[in-house]
Structure 1
Amino acid sequence: MEAPQARREKRSFRVICLLEGPQSEAEALTQLPQVTFTQADFNSTIQNLDDPVVITLQLGDLLVKKVLLDPGSSADVLFYSTFQKMKLSNNILQSTGGDLVSLSGKRVPIIGSVWLQTTLGEHPLSKICDIQYLVVDYFSPYNLIIGRL
């Protein structure tokens, strides 16, 4: 469970990330490409439409694959094995108390947190944000879990 202060900081930071300047909402919406679904999209014969969404994103200068998008998660999680593969120093970990609860219900202690510059999407439709990741030492088939953005 995230500490209340960390939740407030994360929420504040996400609001800042959403603000890209003095554009009106209508101007911002006209700049984005539109996505349209038809009835044919809903009547698909394709199986497993509920498969997890797994993407690749950029953390600083590194390309990280196997990133799970989990809109049901309130935390952004970086697994310690990935942290080590990125050759990051333990000195940059900020002390964070508490535990996360895994999908199986097991409590997983948080080693610490780290802010990393994260690039979502590809140029020219990319967005760069500093995201605070909770670092946990727990096995996962993913390198990161991105929660609600």
Structure 2
Amino acid sequence: MCPVDGIVTFPLVNASRVLQPHEDALVLTLGISGFDVRRVLIDPGSSTDLLQMLVFKQMDYSPSTLENLRRLLSRFNGATTTSQGDIVFPVQASLITLNIQFSVVEDLFHFNAIMGCA
């Protein structure tokens, strides 16, 4: 990973080792506010960074610390979900730490967080 103007980028992969093109999802473990959060989906199409409420509570934070309560968020399929609120957490990936604003939502299905290009 390399920071470029506050953006985290990944170096090019050695193309000689890639047998066929793929578009697999990038799912990682990231340090969020000092906790290792697994199953973080990197979704460049998402305009909002999301954190699941269960993970937020497991990190020992109270919903009373959230700001901008009860905002409607639109999903890619046109459905909406309600954000429980927003919070800014430091996110660490290798040697890089950036402060990221997350909208906390009740359910992200298979992921604990979704990070986009907000």
| TM-score, normalised relative to structure 2 | 0.80
Deviations 1:106-132 (A, max 9, x none): 210111000111102x2xxx2101110
| Higher strand residue share | 2
Query: What's the C-alpha RMSD, in Å, of the aligned pairs?
Result: 2.7
Aligned residues: 113
1:140 paired with 2:109, answer yes
Structure 2 vs 1, CA of residues 127 and 109 (structure 1 numbering), >3 Å: closer, same or farther?
A: same
Asked if 2 retains the 8 angstrom alpha-carbon contact of 1:59 and 1:116, the reply is yes
Task: Tell me the TM-score normalized by structure 1.
Answer: 0.65
Larger radius of gyration: 1
Q: Is 1:35 matched with 2:4?
A: no
1:56 correspondence with 2:33? no
Residue pair 1:108, 1:138 contacting (<8 A) in 2 also: no
User: For 2:82, which of 99, 109, 121 is the aligned residue?
Assistant: 109
1:41 Cα deviation from its structure 2 partner? 5.3
Bigger helix share: 1
Pair 138,104 (structure 1): closer, same or farther in 2 beyond 3 Å = farther
Give secondary structure in 1 for the equivalent of 2:84. strand
Q: How far off its partner does 1:93 sit?
A: 0.5
Residue in 1 that maps onto 2:6: 18
Q: Deviations over 1:43-75 (max 9, x none)?
A: x248xx222110110012210100000000011
Secondary structure, aligned partner of 1:91: helix
Deviations for 1:25-50, whole angstroms, at most 9, x for unmatched residues?
Answer: xxxxxxxx963644x456x248xx22
5+ residue gaps, structure 1: 1-16, 20-32
Which among 63, 75, 81 is matched to residue 48 of structure 2?
75
